[in-house]
Amino acid sequence: MVRCSIKRLIKTIIFLVILIVIFKNLLSYSHQSNVNKFEFKQKSSIIFIVSSYRSKTIQRLFLFLNELHLSYIEYKTIDEKFYNDLTTHIPSMIILDRIPNSNSYNFINQYQISLLILLNNQCHNCISMKYSQMLFENISYPTIDFNREELKPIIHTIQSPFKIKQSNKIIRLLRFEKILPYFFHFHGLHDQCVSLPIDKDNLINTIIYVENKITFEKINLMIISKEKQIYLSECLYHHWFIWPLMMDIFRYLTSNVYDYYGLNRYIQIDIDDIFLGSKSQDRLKSDDIQALIRSQLFIQNYVSNFRYRLGFSGYYYDLGNDEDNQGDRLLIKEKDKFIWFHHTWKHEKLTNVYDKISLISSTKMNIDFAQKYNLPLDPNYAVAPHHTGIYPINPILYDIWHHIINFNVTSTLNYPYHYMSPSNRRGFIYKGLSVLPRQSCSLYTTTRNYTNYPNGSHRLEQYLMGGKLFRIILTNPISIFMSHNINYGHDRLGNYVFSKLIYLISKWTRIKFSNDLSTSELARKYFYDFYPDEQLPIFTNPCHDQMLMNLWNGNRSLCRIFPQFLIVGPQKTGTTALYSMLSQHPDLHPSKRNFISYEELQFFSNDTTYLNGINWYLNQFDSDSIDSKWSMNFEKSATYFDSMLAMKRIKALLPNIRLIMMLTEPGTRAYSRYQHEIARTNQTINFDNLLQLNDSHNSNQFHLKERCLQPGHYAEHIRQWLNYFPSKQIYIIDGDAFRYDPRTILNDIQIAFLQLKNPINSSKLVKFNTKKGFFCPISKKNHFHCLGNSKGRQYEKMSSYAREYLNNYYLLHNQKLIKLLRNNNYSLPSWLTFFNRIQLTKRCFSLSNICHTAEGRMGYPNERYEPTTIAALDKENKNLPLITGLYEDGFMIAGQDRIVGAIFSFPRQIICWNVYSPEQITPESLALLEVVQPRPEIFVLGIGSRTNKIPPETIQFIRSLKIGFEILPTTQACETFNFLLTDNRLVYAGFFPQKDLTDQNYGLRKAIAHSQLYEKDEEYIKKDLLKDTYDVMLKAHRERKLLRPYSPLSRRESSVKQDDDTNVQSLTGTSNMEKRPSIKNRDQPETNKQS
């Protein structure tokens, strides 16, 4: 028996071991399958950066990412938002300023995302080494020292502690293979490098390291921990080689996605103002020209066929003294060694050129000069003095240069703004003329001597040896540098700067300069190979840049002509009516009407119109009407609403503009748009048939369907607008409320949104037209100015099929809209809610003598978009959830939490009750009483006003539960509930807001008459009820912060972190940072206290 038992035990153990092995294999297989699933999910081009604070290292990193034109999102911590964004976007890589914990690491790793971890003082597992403790070794590197007479490469020797592990798979740009040169960083006694110790068993993962000069201990400054994971010490960010090193890291971690156009670079060096000089010392002499030729020969060793490009103004040839003229003649003699381009005849500015004949004449005179002396002219390239007329754009200049003279390429450093970092200078194509970005070479017309360089000559050396100029070549496939003839005289800094820059790039990195190309070929590569998205210009506002202002016209009065607000649509929502009504205000001036798009300019959404330029745009407004600083121009174009390009263009030209949108029920809007298009295009397709089309059908008809349906994706388009503009600049109107009575909204726009100095009572702007059936603008003589017959038409009723189709089509879009509006503190439009409009308190302004009416909405969510769910108020405190405040739209709980709408109350919890009228208090709405445990002793039901009725079947249902119950007006129900609760009775209650509160103070006192808070009555009244005074209401309206309704879907817990990291109370729908006061519906201006 014992032997058998032992055998059975052994078999059992073996069986268990086999089961464990199989289970582990299954887990491994499951994990591998999950990893494979993530592997096939496409990654975005975004980089996530997690940094607890913006250190200098992180700031430098941001600047470099901008130079590389890489998109990134910054996070302070790895939190829920980070995880949500990670699963949504799947970034190409993540940069962290600390080592993540195991949970974060495992979560990130399952998506196979590359990691770059920066090591600093926050690293607990790291060791540190001071610079004074490091072992420095000699390294020789090639360079050029400044010498006015000759350019001679030399070898310098310097000591450096930074050693490179040979045969690594990351470093590709740097040519140094053992030690990296170290200069321009003066460390203190306590400066140190923080990093990980070297694993002696795994030395192959080390890339860069340093050694202790005494113990010879090594620490890693750059290491590959695992595949696609790199640790990098932040101390390397102080040194020149970090930038090519970072480019290699990005390339490696993204598997060559960021390859930065390979290793080939194109360079062009322009020398402007040839033959020009205000003083004799500013002209090139004969020996300067010989030195220029020598520097060109030196550069040709590294750039095949390289030649300087000389911009000339022929009028000034041979107009100097004998020494100057001798230099001019030598330059003409050596003309074939250079390439020449047009720089205007008399170096005239082209900003305000309106005489085409004189411009054509002067241009041809300069070209004739080139033909006279047989200059090797680039027939396609020209540069305007000071870049005038190029940007800001002078359309006349473009017409003449391209269509008459046949110039195809120019360049400027003023687009999109003058004071921009080199990485932000971009190009564009306008009227067939390609405008390439020019780069400054850090030499100016006042920079003449090496020793007198601004902030010292060492600053210029830093720019060349890993600094700004060095990075321009690194990060841009095409670099066009601007310089002046004066930079090649005096100390000949131009020769030195470009020769040394090209030499260092060639010797220190593996970047190769391609053959010298013509400007036409460079433009083709720039706009069609490297940056195809930059062909259309994006106009910026000259008023925001003093240099652009001077190049434009210098008249700042023009800045006031730009519109102050835009009505952006969408179409068929009533925007034309709003435009017409606002136009009646004497301080609001609309744009001029035209024969193509009538009242709409469509400047930002129509490419043809947009390319007319900002001068054309300003001409569409009446400049004489801006007679006071309180006057405002505005325009309305409904095509802006769903145009991404329009959003981008508006943001660039008018970043502080105020925007007005109007939303109507999207299905009704789509049907109205269909009727409009049918009437306009004479198409005959039925609306039901149109909705059934897909992309395989007739392209014109399917495009019509898209035009009808796509603008109704309100959440999608508004979210895009919010990416460009903050919510305080966007005013969203309920289109149904506006159609019902626009006067309230017009007053609110004048006072709260536009903040007009002289608002006018909207009753003097619009009146109801009984013949038309809607409100129309009125003139000063009280005459109607209604819109044409095409506006406000009554259409044939939509079919039931179309209505159902549109309801289902827009269901998800409307649910997203509810969430978006609430997250950005907007009230819900009435077509998304059960209740219609509720007219709120009217107050008269003593100063402006107008009645300001604010219209809000209860905003209870439509059951279609937000089904009934439970969100509980269950705070850990000793206070009972007594009803301590009654309002016409909700309740106050325990003097702390304001709840909008009906509630269901338990002894320790409050939940929202999606009941929107007493008639909806049905057995289904009370189904919770059937399942809740423990069973209540008594159920108290507050039905609102005394006159309200509930369905008879509801009373029968409550009786069938065999529990005690009381059905009372809400005021008495709250009193009963508080009394029973404080008496430790097991009581449940349902309360519906009471609409007929004549005195809220009285309702409050009745509600707490028998509660423990009775003695705090007066104190509480002071704290809470006085919040609803007129001053607070006025402030709320001016900030457009009406009480946002609470939705159970929007807040599931009492302390949920929002995107802006602010705690939000679960039942009030208001954030701790910005609580919205409510605005009551009172018939009397003052409430009389009752005893």
- State whether 718 and 614 are in the same domain: yes
DSSP H helices, 198-272, are 242-253
In a domain, 1072, yes or no: no
- Looking at this protein, which amino acid is placed at residue 1070? T
- Considering 832, 851, 882, which residue would you say is the last residue of a domain? 832
- State whether 370 and 435 are in the same domain: yes
- State whether 1005 and 1041 are in the same domain: yes
Residue 317 belongs to domain with CATH number: 3.20.20.370
- State whether 826 and 885 are in the same domain: no
In a domain, 841, yes or no: no
140-190 pLDDT per residue, tens: 999 999 999 999 999 999 999 999 987 788 899 999 989 999 886 666 667
- Looking at this protein, which amino acid is placed at residue 700? N
User: Residue 229, SS3?
Assistant: strand
As a three-state string, the secondary structure of 501-553 is HHHHHHHHECCEECCCCCHHHHHHHHHHHHCHHHCCCCCCCHHHCHHHHHHHC
What tokens were used for 838? 């509720």
Region of poorest pLDDT, from 205-219, 247-261, 329-343, 1061-1075: 1061-1075
The phi, psi pair for 787, rounded to 5°, reads -70, 170
Query: In Å, how far from its chain's centre is CA 794?
Result: 41
Question: Which residues fall within 8 angstroms of residue 321, CB to CB, at 6 or more apart?
Answer: 280
- State whether 494 and 606 are in the same domain: no
Whether residue 240 is predicted with pLDDT greater than 70 in this model: the reply is yes
| Interior/surface letters 674-709, b for 16+ CB within 10 angstroms, e for the rest | bbbbbeeeeeebebeebbebeeeeeeeeeebbebbb
| Interior/surface letters 337-348, b for 16+ CB within 10 angstroms, e for the rest | bbbbbbbbbebb
In a domain, 115, yes or no: no
CA distance 1060 to 823: 10
User: How many domains is the chain partitioned into structurally?
Assistant: 5
Confidence grade of residue 21 (pLDDT, cut at 50, 70, 90)? low
Name the residue range of residue 481's domain.
264-534
Pairing of strands 512-513, 478-484: unpaired
Angstrom distances, CA of residue 134 to CA of 126, 192, 580, 669: 17, 9, 76, 73
Whether residue 873 is predicted with pLDDT greater than 60 in this model: the reply is no
DSSP for residue 163: E
486-501 pLDDT per residue, tens: 999 999 999 999 999 9
CA distance 753 to 756: 8
Identified catalytic residue from 572, 636, 875, 1080 = 572
| Interior/surface letters 177-205, b for 16+ CB within 10 angstroms, e for the rest | eebbbbbeeeeeeeebbbbbebeeeeeeb
In a domain, 1048, yes or no: yes
CA distance 207 to 223: 5
CA distance 1082 to 1033: 13
- State whether 277 and 230 are in the same domain: no
pLDDT score of 890: 81
Mean pLDDT value of segment 426-433: 94
pLDDT score of 435: 97
The vertex-581 CA angle with 580 and 586, nearest 5°, equals 100
State the residue for tokens 């009065």.
Answer: 557
CA distance 194 to 468: 27
**Considering only CA atoms, which of 502, 474, 506 is closest in space to residue 240?**
474
Residue % of the chain over a pLDDT of 90: 45
In a domain, 327, yes or no: yes
Cβ atoms of 972 and 1007 within 8 Å: the answer is no
In a domain, 104, yes or no: no
**Considering only CA atoms, which of 548, 536, 495, 803 is closest in space to residue 648?**
536
Average pLDDT, the chain: 81
Whether residue 1021 is predicted with pLDDT greater than 90 in this model: the reply is no
Residue 666 belongs to domain with CATH number: 3.40.50.300
- State whether 561 and 683 are in the same domain: yes
- Is residue 226 within a helix (H) or strand (E), and if so which, with residue range? strand 218-226
DSSP string, 83-136: HHHHHHH--SEEEESSPPPHHHHHHHHTTT-EEEEEESTT-SS-EEEEGGGB--
- State whether 421 and 526 are in the same domain: yes
Pairing of strands 433-437, 409-412: parallel
- State whether 732 and 775 are in the same domain: yes
Better pLDDT: 970 or 845: 970
- State whether 970 and 1061 are in the same domain: yes
Residue 952 belongs to domain with CATH number: 3.40.1230.10
- State whether 138 and 191 are in the same domain: yes
User: Residue 798, SS3?
Assistant: coil
Tell me if residue 1089 is catalytic. Answer: no
- Considering 781, 813, 832, which residue would you say is the last residue of a domain? 832
In a domain, 503, yes or no: yes
In a domain, 839, yes or no: no
Cβ atoms of 565 and 749 within 8 Å: the answer is no
The phi, psi pair for 231, rounded to 5°, reads -105, 135
Cβ atoms of 189 and 173 within 8 Å: the answer is no
- State whether 5 and 147 are in the same domain: no
937-965 pLDDT per residue, tens: 899 999 988 888 888 889 888 988 888 89
